[in-house]
Structure 1
Amino acid sequence: MSRALGDDAARRQINQMAEFIKLEARQKAEEIRVKTDHECETLKQLTVAKRKAQLRDQYKRLQAKAKSQLRKDESKVLNDERIRRLRHQDGLLTDLSRDARSKMERFVAAGGEPYADLLPALAGQAIAQIAGREKVAADVELRVRGCDVDLLGDGGAKDAQGRSKLRSKLRSAVKAAMVEALRREAETSARARAEAEADTPEAGAAAAAKAGEAAVADAELPEAVWVKADTRLEADGGRVGGGVIVSASAGRIVVDNSLHARLALVTHELQHVLRAALFPASEAAEE
């Protein structure tokens, strides 16, 4: 009987020990599960945070790239539009220049007294430019169209009195242009010096007037003026072209005062003025 009880007690103890071991195992398993879940959650959060950071960086790069491309596209569109507008404006200016050239050619082709009066003035301006650089040579050569030789030379007069009038007219125009050019140059220089020294506009104006009078008094004219034909001034059979080419000092100094050269010079120098007058909105936008 006691032996049987001893076996039951042993069996109970064994069962208790087994239950204790199972409990310990379950607790240990729970601890491992909790720890594993925590580590897994931590790793997952780190992975998610890292991936989010990567995605944010990638988004920023793509956004910056998209903005850069957008700016490039906008700039290209603006440049293309600006080029198109400038080409259109250039076309209008070209048409304007072509129209001015056509009117000039009609004026030359018409001839008559207005053109005959213009030639000596053009010659005078050119000689004045030469005089502004160095002392006027004894001989000055005027090259004109073949059909204009008679307007400036002796061939246009039938008698001595007529030839004298032609030369007098030419010399008067030359002197007038030279005097005006020398006066302007002397007045400008004197005004600048006087204002710098005295710092008063009145002193500058007085000095400019005095210098202008002195320049007029010292103005010299060439002793002889020769007129020759030049095919470079002829176009379309000599009906258009016109003006004069003046040379001095054995051809070392040449001033092209032909009408085509003057038109090209005016068109170039006044291009900004013409653009501002014709396209004020475009000029204001560029500034």
Structure 2
Amino acid sequence: MPSILIVGTGAIGAIYGWRLSQSAQVTTVCRSNYSVVQEHGFSIDSKKFGQEVFRPYRVVRTVTEAVEANGSTPFDYILVTLKALPDMYSTTDIIGPAVTPGKTTIVLLQNGLGVEEPVVAQFPTNPLVSIVAYIGTSQTSPGHILMVGGEYLVVGNYLASKVDNTAQRQLLLDLFEKGGVTFTAEDDVERIRWQKLFWNAAFSSVCTLTGMNTTEVLNNKAGLDGVKSVMKEMILTANAMGYDFDVESQMDAMIKGSATNVPNYKPSMQLDYERKQQMEVEVILGTPLRRAKAKGMAVPYLELIYNLCSAANARNLLHNTSSLGTLLPRTSFSISDVGDQIRNYFVTLRRQTLLPLFSSLFFHSSPPLTTIQPLSIMTTVRALNDDEVFNEMKKMVAFIKQEALEKAREIKVKADEEFNIEKAKIVRQESLNIEAVFERKIKQAEVQKRISQSNHINKARLRTLQEREHVLDDLFEETRGRTQQLDKDESGYSDLLNKLVLQGAYTLMESDLAIRCREQDVDKVKDAANYAKEHFEQTLKSALNITIGDDYLPSSNAGGVVLTGLKGKIVVDNTLEARLEIVKEDMLPQLRVILFGHSPSRKFFN
């Protein structure tokens, strides 16, 4: 069964992870919804697929945790459903620990243009599958997924990737089919991404900046003009990249389709802005803008809308963080530039819209501004009466009150912003402290676990060694008992004594030797002494004198002899007990191997 790691398991990741789990082993990386999903799974309510609780094979907090939990087995697929925010984080750095070079297939299910570029650069030997999704789903609360309509995927090739993904893409399509997912396969996914951007770049940005939904924008002439201007420049940019889209037909289809298919709809960029979350400005507007400029194109509407949305993104980021230095790390404009463009925009808006409007109000028509005649100047001067003085005072009081209210609102707004910044700073610091304590306790627990495990292993090793020593002691004790029976064999024991005495003589190489033996072995030792003397003199041509002392060995000894030379200064102990100890020392390694086998940790045997 294929193993799939889903990184960024929000609404889209949960839906498609659920469908893939029908025939694959799915691990999900969850962050804010981790606790709920770990305990209860995903509670999914889908108009197309029905209601069900989806419990992934494994739920983890990080990609590294997923890799550790999966052991030495690499993932077959990594499905990336993260929001595409290249100015905030690196997708390749996040998924990197789980990517096995040449093995893992990376599947990108993200918005925008150019999301594949860093993946191909970072992982040039891995198969890549790029997907464009058309789906209406959201996570209403942690672990609760609502899918309001149908869904549709375009699964395609990214032509800049040189790794053949045919087999991997077909297996993925089979998994989607088994899960009931609607899809088509395309050879050039970037063409589809451009088509989706025609709508997304135009409607998402205008809806975000005006606060209107799609229907309100379509019914507002200025708003619709803005949509058309941005959309036209997007289509022209795509054609400059080598495509052949018809500008008018594409715009007509997008606008008519919006009125029919997505009435009163708020795009995801607009929802992110309202929730004060980061918008996918770079991949929806930034990448097309940079490609247009690289082609030497003038796209003033796209550039303006990009700068305005980037400024809105910066404001939201400022609202959510205490560090101004982190704002817009990859944008190519300054806050003052954005301010100049905003001022120019509203100056133009005032000239083109407000002045004609005031003109129509005063003149009940729309004459050119140059036809407005100044009012004739009044030349009579008189004193104000009481009513007029009172009215002027009322106006002055109202003006002062209005100024005071505006100043109060300004102070409140500034105080709220400072409060939110300070609160965010405190919350972040406390979160870091809690994470640090948590990590320290985890490390302590891991250390204790390893110490305990090591102690158990050492105790087991010691018990094993003790048992082995007991076995060897029993073996030698049994052997020692059997040596006590050797003297029962008269012939064999006599022959053994002959050899022991002769070996001792050869070892000492002295002419006068003294022998100690057991009292009951005296006769046999005399015979052995004669045997040794005869062979010694015959071999070495040297006389040998052997005497048997009356300082006998204990009768409890198993047998054998002790030879001494140089008046007791040199001793050769050839008792059976001594010979057994020599055998024990020499044969102990071989006995260990015979009885217990080779040690698995031993590498060398010579």
1:17–1:172 CA distance, 2 compared to 1 (3 A): farther
Conserved? CA contact 1:243–1:257, under 8 Å: yes
Q: Distance in 2 between matches of 1:95 and 1:229?
A: 35
Match of 1:241 in 2: 558
Which residue of 1 is the match for residue 523 of structure 2?
150
Asked if 1:63 corresponds to 2:442, the answer is: yes
Quote how far apart the aligned CAs of 1:51 are: 2.2
Alpha-carbon distance between aligned partners in 1 of 2:537 and 2:600, rounded to the nearest angstrom: 43
Question: 1:151 corresponds to which letter in structure 2?
Answer: K
Alignment length (residue pairs): 221
* Residue 170 in structure 1 maps to residue 532 in structure 2: yes
2:512 counterpart residue number? 139
Corresponding residue of 1:224: 545
Any idea what the Cα deviations from partners look like across 1:31-69, whole Å, max 9, x if unmatched?
Answer: 111111111211122222222322332233222222222
State whether residues 516 and 562 of structure 2, in contact with CA within 8 Å, keep that contact through their aligned partners in structure 1.
yes
Question: Taking structure 1 as reference, are residues 86 and 149 closer, same or farther at Cα in structure 2, changes over 3 Å only?
Answer: same
The DSSP-based 3-state class of the residue aligned with 1:51 is helix
In the alignment, the residues of structure 2 paired with residue 80 and residue 32 of structure 1 have an alpha-carbon distance, to the nearest angstrom, of 71
Shift in Å, 1:102: 0.9
**Are 1:114 and 2:492 matched, yes or no?**
yes
Contact 1:123 1:174 in 2 (8 A): no
1:267 aligns with 2:588: no
More helix by percentage:
1
Deviations 1:138-164 (A, max 9, x none): 2111111111122122xxxxxxxxxxx
| Cα separation, partners in 2 of 1:128 and 1:37, compared to 1, 3 Å | farther
CA distance in 2 between partners of 1:170 and 1:221 (Å):
12
| Aligned with 2:502 (options 115, 119, 124) | 124
Partners in 2 of 1:37 and 1:173 — Cα distance?
A: 116
Is the contact between residue 140 and residue 222 of structure 1 (CA under 8 Å) also seen in structure 2? Answer: no
CA contact (8 A) 2:506 2:536 kept: yes
What's the counterpart of residue 278 of structure 1?
595
Give runs of aligned pairs for residues 196-215 of structure 1, distance below 5 A.
none
The Cα of 1:239 is off from its aligned counterpart by 5.1
Change (3 A) 1:129 1:173: same
SS of match in other structure, 1:251: coil
SS in 2 for 1:137: coil
Q: Describe the shift of the 1:224–1:44 C-alpha distance in structure 2 as closer, same or farther (beyond 3 A).
A: same
Distance of 1:82 and 1:175 partners within structure 2: 56
Contact 1:140 1:247 in 2 (8 A): yes
Q: TM-score, normalised by structure 2?
A: 0.34
Pick 1 or 2: higher relative contact order, CA cutoff 8 A, min separation 6.
1
Q: CA deviation at 1:280?
A: 0.7
Q: Gaps spanning 5+ residues in structure 2: where?
A: 1-383
Amino acid corresponding to residue 443 of structure 2 in structure 1: A
Between Structure 1 and Structure 2, the one with more strand by share is 2
> Relative to structure 2, which stretch is displaced further, 253-262 or 49-58?
49-58
Partner SS for 2:568: coil
Paired residue secondary structure (2:547) = strand
Greater Cα shift, 262-271 or 7-16? 7-16
- Return closer, same or farther for 1:139/1:36 CA change in 2, 3 Å cut-off: same
Q: Percent identity, please.
A: 29
Query: What is the CA distance between 1:275 and its match in structure 2?
Result: 0.8
Within 5 Å, give how 1:24-63 maps onto structure 2: 24-63=403-442
2:574 aligned counterpart, secondary structure = strand
Aligned mate of 2:569, from 252, 266, 270: 252
CA distance in 1, matches of 2:412, 2:468: 81
Cα 1:124–1:32 change in 2 (3 A) is farther
Compute the TM-score of the two structures, normalised by the length of structure 1. Answer: 0.68
121-130 or 29-38, larger mean C-alpha shift: 121-130
Deviations 1:218-245, CA, capped at 9 Å, x for gaps: x4656211122445x42xxx15421111
Please give the alpha-carbon distance, in whole angstroms, between the structure 1 residues aligned to 2:448 and 2:529.
Answer: 72
